[in-house]
Chain A
Amino acid sequence: SQQGEEDPQALSIQEGENATMNCSYKTSINNLQWYRQNSGRGLVHLILIRSNEREKHSGRLRVTLDTSKKSSSLLITASRAADTASYFCATRGSSNTGKLIFGQGTTLQVKP
């Protein structure tokens, strides 16, 4: 079963614009992670935010987490054509298994 629901499913922007993707989840979490997947490739980890954190930055990436609303957002600033990819949020639950469950993803196209 998928825990995370991403919104929008697809996003198309011009180079230089900002891209915002949202993720909602259903149960309590230990941490939430964002991954990128280029077409035909494996997933690459972008950023991890723990349940007791509200915001995290990494280069052009900004992630927020609102545990009261069970939601997170990923902001990519000053987008580049190379940012074209699918982006997935994944939640790690509080159980001992540490299972990581992925959402359905947002497909981002950045036009040069």
Chain B
Amino acid sequence: EAGVAQSPRYKIIEKRQSVAFWCNPISGHATLYWYQQILGQGPKLLIQFQNNGVVDDSQLPKDRFSAERLKGVDSTLKIQPAKLEDSAVYLCASSWGQGTNTGELFFGEGSRLTVL
């Protein structure tokens, strides 16, 4: 079974530039998550999709971050314009089930963003 695919693995940009990350979840997984992990911290949930609908985006900085999950499959997370504090690893994860019936998450390797 193929895992969660993410690209690019690494990206370096200057502040105020834009960047986009792509995620392809495990086939058949209804729920897709984007987490931000700053060095030395635990992952912070940015947005959670169930199929192609947003379930939770309460911690997504909507003035600069956007995400979509077209056709309920792969997803794109965009940052525009980037700030220095956006330097982090962006982790995509997917899972079976919905709501409280959701079990374990399967994570991709992450996309490491450095903003200069």
Residues of A participating in the B interface, judged by any CB pair closer than 8 Å: 1-2, 4, 30-31, 33, 35, 41-45, 48, 88, 90, 92-105
Nearest CB of chain A from residue B48's CB, rounded to whole Å: 6
Interface centre among B33, B35, B107 (most CB of A within 10 A): B107
**Partner of A98 from B31, B91, B93, B110 at Cβ < 8 Å:** B31
Count chain B residues whose beta carbon lies closer than 8 angstroms to a beta carbon of A.
29
Segment from B11-19, B60-68, B71-79, B98-106 that makes contact with A: B98-106
Q: Assuming A43-B91, A43-B105, A102-B43, what are 19 further A-B pairs, CB within 8 angstroms? A: A2-B42, A2-B44, A41-B110, A42-B107, A42-B109, A42-B110, A43-B107, A44-B107, A45-B105, A48-B104, A88-B43, A90-B105, A92-B100, A92-B102, A98-B100, A99-B56, A100-B45, A101-B45, A105-B41
Kindly list chain A residues whose C-beta atoms are within 8 Å of the C-beta of B56. 97, 99
Nearest CB of chain A from residue B102's CB, rounded to whole Å: 4
Docked complex Cα distance between A17 and B99 (Å): 38
Interface pair A97/B107, CB less than 8 Å apart: no
Kindly list chain A residues whose C-beta atoms are within 8 Å of the C-beta of B99. 95-98
Interface centre among A41, A43, A88, A94 (most CB of B within 10 A): A43
| B25 close to A (CB within 8 Å) | no
Docked complex Cα distance between A97 and B97 (Å): 11
Nearest CB of chain A from residue B34's CB, rounded to whole Å: 12
Docked complex Cα distance between A105 and B42 (Å): 6
| B116 close to A (CB within 8 Å) | no
- Can you name 20 A-B pairs with beta carbons within 8 Å? A31-B103, A33-B105, A35-B105, A42-B93, A42-B109, A43-B107, A45-B106, A88-B43, A94-B100, A96-B100, A97-B99, A98-B98, A98-B101, A99-B48, A99-B56, A100-B33, A101-B45, A102-B43, A103-B42, A105-B41
Nearest CB of chain A from residue B49's CB, rounded to whole Å: 11
If the complex has contacts A97-B55, A98-B31, A100-B105, are A43 and B43 also in contact, measured as CB distance less than 8 A? yes
